[in-house]
Chains A and B, each alone.
Chain A
């Protein structure tokens, strides 16, 4: 039915199968939307946040998706500025993932705030000294950049491309994409950094506070760096998952390996910097404020020193070690482990910088506060995931996301073979519909 919209040279599952898939994920999405409406209509009392946990799972999710969405700007940097042409195979997908991550982040912010209808005050009445203002501005602008980067891909849909204006627009945008990408990198550097700054400037909270350069605490640079390092791992991870689900090779190995290699070195350098930062903080910053490292990791049921070990060693040095070695990158299992660990690592880091910051007592007579999200918070946090899966599904079906897909999966070579297709549960057998038919 919708075959006219499906790119040439690739195979997709039947529309019914696709709709079934969409409706399953859509149900989850609706659950999230329901929870979101509850939060909007009834207020944030729907959450388990409280006056100690003013920032909770949403802000973590926000920081995490932005960190892992950092793959878009870093891949863009490598592709457009440094001219790594191998990445052509994955850049579209990196942009798409980035777009999903950033739109999710903005959505989360829209229900995280107590007065969503006044959300625009952050722009209108901006306080330029606030890291959050910097986040808001750079985040929105960069989302604009991602949209600009995403538009040509949409325009390349077979039907849209037939309109001469759109065809030319897409072409022209490609032509000057390097300018956009460079702006994107500039903006990303600041908003990733300022997200780190959000925690790092809290001089009232020794657990989060870091010294730095000028107005920027060390976390500013660590956040940018970790997003650049781990973002590509997330792009690889999602690509791998997509390949597994669709049971086809979508991106050339050379692209994956190059990205993995760069990511590996980035992680290694990041984690060394992070270690130095932690060391300095534990031995100089915190003691100068009368606290020891173990004050932050004891007397509570969850936050033990294990979390630091997990973040730095298991999810830092281990993936770095795998990714910087050729053997590690080439080994599919090792690559899987490495990218998962790297993504988990950056998520732990963001968790620590949001939720543990809130949990640690500051006044000597205060106490650790523990928190568990309400179902409304969980649903609204899953909501962007469902939205992302749907958008990936749609884009994969109707847009030429993977330029090398037809080359990697030539239809002509398998004309007689029944092929399983696309996202939905893989076991659903499909009648093959040749593209363009």
Chain B
């Protein structure tokens, strides 16, 4: 899973597979971080204009 585990080889297979994985995880991570931080800021500002 990580380049430092001994199964890891720097080959196409690992780069593509793990690349795809980390890419997806990064998007999810950044997305969630963004939402949480923005929510915290919004909550502090008392911004309450939008409703569904």
Question: Which residues in A have some Cβ–Cβ distance to B below 8 Å?
Answer: 123-129, 133-134, 137, 141, 144-145, 148, 156, 164-169, 171-176, 179-180, 183, 186-187, 190
Contact = CB atoms under 8 A, between A and B. Distances in A.
A141 B50 contact: no
B43 A126 contact: no
Given A168-B43, A172-B38, A176-B34, A127 B24 contact: no
A164 to B, nearest CB: 4
A164 B42 CA distance: 8
A169 B27 contact: no
B21 A168 contact: no
13 contacts: A124-B1, A124-B5, A125-B1, A126-B7, A127-B7, A128-B14, A134-B17, A168-B47, A169-B35, A172-B35, A172-B42, A175-B35, A179-B27
B34 A172 contact: yes
B31 A187 contact: no
Interface string B10-33: 000110011011001101100110
A187 B24 CA distance: 8
A175 B35 CA distance: 9
Given A168-B39, A169-B36, A187-B24, 17 more contacts: A123-B1, A124-B1, A126-B7, A128-B14, A129-B13, A141-B24, A144-B28, A145-B28, A164-B43, A171-B39, A171-B52, A172-B35, A172-B39, A173-B35, A176-B31, A176-B35, A180-B31
Contacts of A148: 28, 31-32
A166 to B, nearest CB: 8
Nearest to B30: A179
Interface size class of B (residues with CB under 8 A): 20 to 34
Nearest to A166: B39
A164 B48 CA distance: 8
B52 A174 contact: yes
Contacts of A179: 27, 31
Nearest to B50: A171
Nearest to A177: B31
Interface of B: 1, 5, 7, 13-14, 17-18, 20-21, 24-25, 27-28, 31-32, 34-36, 38-40, 42-43, 46-48, 50, 52
Looking at chain B's contact residues, is the secondary structure mostly helix, strand, loop, or mixed?
helix
B24 A183 contact: yes
A144 B47 CA distance: 29
Looking at chain A's contact residues, is the secondary structure mostly helix, strand, loop, or mixed?
helix
B7 A141 contact: no
A279 B17 CA distance: 32
B52 A126 contact: no
Most chain B CB within a 10 A radius of its CB, from A129, A169, A186, A187: A169
A124 B7 CA distance: 9
Given A164-B48, A169-B35, A137 B21 contact: yes
Contacts of B25: 141
A144 B38 CA distance: 20
Nearest to B2: A124
A125 B52 CA distance: 45
A165 B40 contact: yes
Contacts of A187: 24
B5 A125 contact: yes
B3 to A, nearest CB: 12
Most chain A CB within a 10 A radius of its CB, from B5, B21, B25, B46: B21
B28 A141 contact: yes
Contacts of A186: 24
Contacts of A126: 1, 7
A437 B49 CA distance: 26
Contacts of A166: 39
